[in-house]
Chains A and B, each alone.
Chain A
């Protein structure tokens, strides 16, 4: 591996050859073609799905333009989150400050849309020109009587992960503000599901069958009122831990709500999630219901997967996704389809996740943190992968290399969670890997 930026060597390892731990949680090198985004992006994607809140982006126009309705987070009701509001700062504002503009924008928007709460995102230059966003938010909160929450997400202030943390901070300002609510006996919050392609609704169905009430989901199909009373739940069930673990930890400390890390992707992880929740409530009836559900679903699913598995057996996959925890589920799900993971990496994985990944993967698998197109295409060539799983920037690269592709990010069009999601995943992978178009490429 000589062809990479020298300082990146510690962020790439091959299982079996490299003994050392992978190094992660590092800032990207200046000059690299990184697939990563910024702090603002992290905060924006976490809070975005809260559909009845106002999301105002304080800064020049770009940050609002690029994040206008880009995340396929579905809402069953309000669609306010899908509009794009920005103070659209100009040169004048950079010199004289943008506080007044922000104040007027907020007043105007709150009067018009009557949102349940408002999030105000600070972009890069806000920190530099010294706008006191927090003060403006306090003032508007007072005048309008709704929570106007500053999200201090200046892009340069860390990595996308730090943006997640800031978003968690914003959420925690809402959590616990409604005490006039009695939670049912078995109640949970779902943390870290963003209802892409309606995945939350699939999960809600399962939990309903178990007799578990979902108090709030943070943040898929999110509502301000539900978040306010989230502290009444008995358990936090955390998916996509990278983005929302901070909140789970804080709620544990503040409200003594335990949390468990789950994944809803693939048969094993989905089933385990349901069993774990049932075990948590120590209710035999619930456990029996979970068993019934799982048995039922699997007995339908496994035979249905068989034909796909037959075609996919022995094919190789490369994975490059946002968080490493998701990658773990993907490796397992691919195994279920008879596929081997030969490259796996993430933008923002942490040491613990990478360790799990290393344990899980076969010898020779390349594991990488914060990669770039050159590396990825090199790895793919090296390993002879047939499929790439990634996001928007990876898709065309995979296709140019003649690989099948599955979007496991914001642009997924089919739900991939739950048992039905596993079926969709199999179909999508099968369709892409066996597409007749590849015969024209050789």
Chain B
């Protein structure tokens, strides 16, 4: 038992995180920047940060992940990283030829007081940024928030930099997405397409971190939101933002800068959240909901009905990022399951408020926590107090699942021991079907593996 150290009694911990249910801001900034076409993420800090983030994303996507680093030295930590960043900008435009460099800071550069805006300003004044090329920067100190915060900060930076309002009114809707997979981004676009709404999706990592095998290596794959598209966001009719943690600050920034109004929605995981998303899209695009989407919804509800007996009353523990945990919790309740333990390392007071709204008086026994000390160790302790029938979360859940023999469904970031998340969405009604398939598969595999011979069933 790898986690034999976990005790049942939950003790208040003063100063310690054990097996974190989050990681730091820069990796989120890197992921968001990969969703912009022709963009090279740049980590302003020590070499290790960039290497770790690239490895983490590579393990998750099984794809080459490109990013550059300022390669801090002892000297830069004393005298500041300006020289490194200026040299980096020269080198990157000289050799790697991106359209955009998206710089994010690190705990080190923030602590020594590097001002990215000022350094980028100097690069511009010095003529280091070639005509038609762009340098965008976001402050992402690792000691604030989590990887989701970094994602949001980078997204906001893109919107602030590029979106531009002119007199032209475009019949299009902005989709600002929280942290989801490339498969989900593809699905969001497909749904909007079915509704005949022209959208600009930011970021869009489809065709970037899920590229086909061609025998060629492309530093900048064909996907990603283009500069032109980002600029045009300022003239859109409105914005549909998905996920408060990931996308709200960008939506506000866009509203402030270009007066594009937005609606704040959950990431469309599960039937209720997808209903709201489709409604929001139809309102924003001023279209009615086509039959074909109602049919997709019907198929999901059909499976929920057919398999209800396997969902009913099952206790579920889940962990991950707020933007997906909230709608997922709602979905589990819609399935008649019991989401009893919920943990997110990502801080934010709204989590409690939203969870209370979703849980209402349906499930008084649910324990949930986010922010400091909300880690996998705590989740495991809760599970030891009273077991669950299902665990949902990223790969790091596998220790608990194995030790406690709990069916385990992988969702979230990172998933470094299974594949599929890049290709099969969990958003929308189709995504709902996939979640159900996975939940049922995990639960039923355990039933089949452990049922006594006499009650081993052929038909389920």
Of the listed stretches A108-116, A272-280, A304-312, A356-364, name the one at the interface; the rest are far from the partner chain: A108-116
| Chain B residues near A62 (CB-CB < 8 A) | 23-27, 49, 52, 107, 142
| Chain B residues near A400 (CB-CB < 8 A) | 63-64, 211, 213-218
CB–CB A65/B15 < 8 A: no
| Binary CB contact string for chain A from 124 to 135 against chain B (1 if under 8 A, 0 otherwise) | 110111000000
- Nearest residue, chain A, Cβ from B85: A30
CB–CB B71/A28 < 8 A: yes
CB–CB B15/A31 < 8 A: no
Q: Say if the beta carbon of A59 comes within 8 Å of chain B.
A: yes
CB–CB B16/A105 < 8 A: yes
Of the listed stretches A89-97, A175-183, A217-225, A295-303, name the one at the interface; the rest are far from the partner chain: A89-97
Of the listed stretches A76-84, A236-244, A418-426, name the one at the interface; the rest are far from the partner chain: A76-84
Q: Say if the beta carbon of A144 comes within 8 Å of chain B.
A: no
Q: Which of B70-95 contact A (CB under 8 A)?
A: 70-74, 76-77, 83-85, 87-92, 94-95
Q: Which of B206-226 contact A (CB under 8 A)?
A: 211, 213-219
Cα distance, A53 to B142, chains bound together (Å) = 27
| Chain A residues near B5 (CB-CB < 8 A) | 80, 83, 112-113
| Chain B residues near A87 (CB-CB < 8 A) | 15-17
Q: Say if the beta carbon of A368 comes within 8 Å of chain B.
A: no
| Chain B residues near A34 (CB-CB < 8 A) | 47, 50-51, 69, 71
| Chain B residues near A186 (CB-CB < 8 A) | none
- Nearest residue, chain A, Cβ from B7: A112
CB–CB A124/B64 < 8 A: no
Of the listed stretches A152-160, A187-195, A246-254, name the one at the interface; the rest are far from the partner chain: A152-160
Q: How many B residues have CB within 8 A of the partner chain?
A: 84
Cα distance, A396 to B141, chains bound together (Å) = 29
Cα distance, A168 to B45, chains bound together (Å) = 25
Minimum distance in angstroms from B204 CB to a CB of chain A:
20
Q: Which of B15-72 contact A (CB under 8 A)?
A: 15-20, 22-27, 40, 42, 45-56, 58-59, 61-72
- Nearest residue, chain A, Cβ from B109: A124
| Chain B residues near A90 (CB-CB < 8 A) | 143-144, 372
Q: Say if the beta carbon of B106 comes within 8 Å of chain A.
A: yes
If A61-B17, A125-B107, A373-B219 touch, whether A30 touches B71 (CB-CB below 8 Å) is: yes
| Chain A residues near B24 (CB-CB < 8 A) | 60-62, 65
Q: Which of A119-151 contact B (CB under 8 A)?
A: 123-125, 127-129
- Nearest residue, chain B, Cβ from A410: B55
Minimum distance in angstroms from B76 CB to a CB of chain A:
7
| Chain B residues near A441 (CB-CB < 8 A) | 213-215
Cα distance, A237 to B3, chains bound together (Å) = 34
CB–CB A374/B95 < 8 A: yes
CB–CB A65/B213 < 8 A: no
Q: Say if the beta carbon of A4 comes within 8 Å of chain B.
A: yes
Q: Say if the beta carbon of B96 comes within 8 Å of chain A.
A: yes
| Binary CB contact string for chain A from 11 to 39 against chain B (1 if under 8 A, 0 otherwise) | 00000000000000001111111111111
CB–CB B70/A396 < 8 A: no
If A30-B85, A83-B18, A87-B15 touch, whether A38 touches B46 (CB-CB below 8 Å) is: yes
CB–CB B108/A88 < 8 A: no
Cα distance, A32 to B18, chains bound together (Å) = 34
Q: Say if the beta carbon of A100 comes within 8 Å of chain B.
A: yes
Cα distance, A94 to B106, chains bound together (Å) = 13
| Chain B residues near A112 (CB-CB < 8 A) | 5, 7
- Nearest residue, chain B, Cβ from A112: B5
If A104-B16, A400-B213 touch, whether A38 touches B87 (CB-CB below 8 Å) is: no
Minimum distance in angstroms from A378 CB to a CB of chain B:
9
Q: Which of A33, A38, A100, A159 contacts B96 (CB 8 A)?
A: A33
Cα distance, A84 to B19, chains bound together (Å) = 5
Cα distance, A274 to B54, chains bound together (Å) = 39
Can you report 8 A-B residue pairs in the complex whose CB atoms are below 8 A from each other?
A27-B73, A62-B52, A66-B23, A128-B111, A156-B74, A373-B64, A393-B55, A442-B215
**Which residues of B does A touch, CB under 8 Å?**
2-5, 7, 13-20, 22-27, 40, 42, 45-56, 58-59, 61-74, 76-77, 83-85, 87-92, 94-96, 106-108, 111-112, 141-144, 146, 211, 213-219, 345, 372, 396
Q: A62-B25, A396-B61, A400-B215 are in contact. List 14 more A-B contacts (CB 8 A).
A: A27-B71, A34-B71, A37-B47, A61-B20, A65-B23, A86-B17, A86-B20, A87-B16, A88-B20, A90-B143, A94-B143, A125-B143, A374-B95, A401-B216
Which 7 pairs from chain A and chain B are nearest by CB? Answer: A38-B48, A62-B24, A31-B88, A31-B91, A155-B46, A65-B23, A60-B142
